[in-house]
Amino acid sequence: MEWIDGIKLTDEFSLKKAFLDRKKLIDQGLYCSLRQLLEVGFFHADPHPGNLVATKNGSLAYFDFGMMGDIPRHYRVGLIQMVGNISVIISRQTAN
């Protein structure tokens, strides 16, 4: 194990002091989660603010890997197809 210095995601004052943009951290967390789920298939199953910190360079660090999950490739492909189909349906509805 190694020590990782970080700022709690709920510590708005320290995030501002470190010039870290909360929206960018949220976007990064969403990207990381979707990549874990859909691309890699092995994911952190408990990513709450107590298990994530922001580093001074703006990266996210995950802790507590006691709850992990894996999704077989055929389920990941099906999930990607489902999301794609839903986005097509929504775009058609909003176009009309």
- Catalytically annotated residues: 46
Alpha-carbon distance 7 to 69, whole Å? 26
Phi-psi region of 48 (alpha: psi -120 to 50; beta: other; left: phi over 0): beta
Count CA atoms closer than 13 A to 12's CA, side-chain side: 1
Among 39, 47, 95, smallest CA distance to 70 is for 39
Among 7, 2, 53, 5, smallest CA distance to 29 is for 53
